[in-house]
Amino acid sequence: MMSATTLRGVTRATRVLDLSASAELVCDNLMCAKVGELCLCKFSIALPKIAHVSELRLRGNGMDRWPELWRIPGLHILDVSENRLQSIPREIAQLSHLKELRISHNDLESLPEELAQLPSLRLVDARNNSRLRAVPQSLAAIVRTDEGDSARR
């Protein structure tokens, strides 16, 4: 399976894109208010080029908001672990081929019912989200949380 670790390295054959802790997502535009910080503008511009990717890793980038990932319709595995995400947008239900969602080590408070609408979803790794208080019953069989945390099915 072809993989790439930069947006520039993506080709039509690329199936895995690993942008974990990527310096490529740090803004270098001196005219931008986010210069030197995480800025998803480069990623958003590249979305049409990566629309065929089936696995996307965005671990450890300090993201506090979601890029428009639903514009990658064939996504099977999504890893946004080790960020600062506090919620999951409802648009995630558009990722109908998603099999694995890795959201561990974030600041999530809840999981949306929309995840239950994903017919292929087999795993939601939500470990180490200390603010996660409840897991919807419809997701209980596929959500992994810490054994000692307060999330209850």
How confident is the model over 117-146, as pLDDT tens digits?
Answer: 999 999 999 999 999 988 999 999 999 998
Diameter of the chain by CA atoms?
Answer: 47
Domain 2-144 adopts which CATH fold? 3.80.10
Cα dihedral 125, 127, 131, 137 sign: positive
**Contact partners, residue 60, CB within 8 Å, separation at least 6:** 20, 21, 81, 82, 83
**Contact partners, residue 134, CB within 8 Å, separation at least 6:** 110, 151, 152
Cα dihedral 118, 51, 57, 85 sign: negative
Report whether 70 contacts 49 (CB < 8 A). Answer: no
Task: Give the type of residue at 61.
Answer: N
pLDDT recorded at residue 14: 96
Poorest-confidence range of 7-21, 89-103, 136-150? 136-150
**CA–CA distances in Å: residue 107 to residues 9, 15, 131, 142:** 31, 29, 6, 20
CA distance 100 to 55: 9
How confident is the model over 13-61, as pLDDT tens digits?
Answer: 999 999 999 999 998 888 888 888 888 888 888 999 999 999 999 999 9
pLDDT recorded at residue 39: 84
pLDDT recorded at residue 148: 44
pTM exceeds cut of 0.85 = yes
∠ CA 42-44-47, nearest 5°, is 110
CA distance 25 to 32: 13
pLDDT recorded at residue 147: 54
Q: How many CB atoms lie within 10 A of CB 104?
A: 20
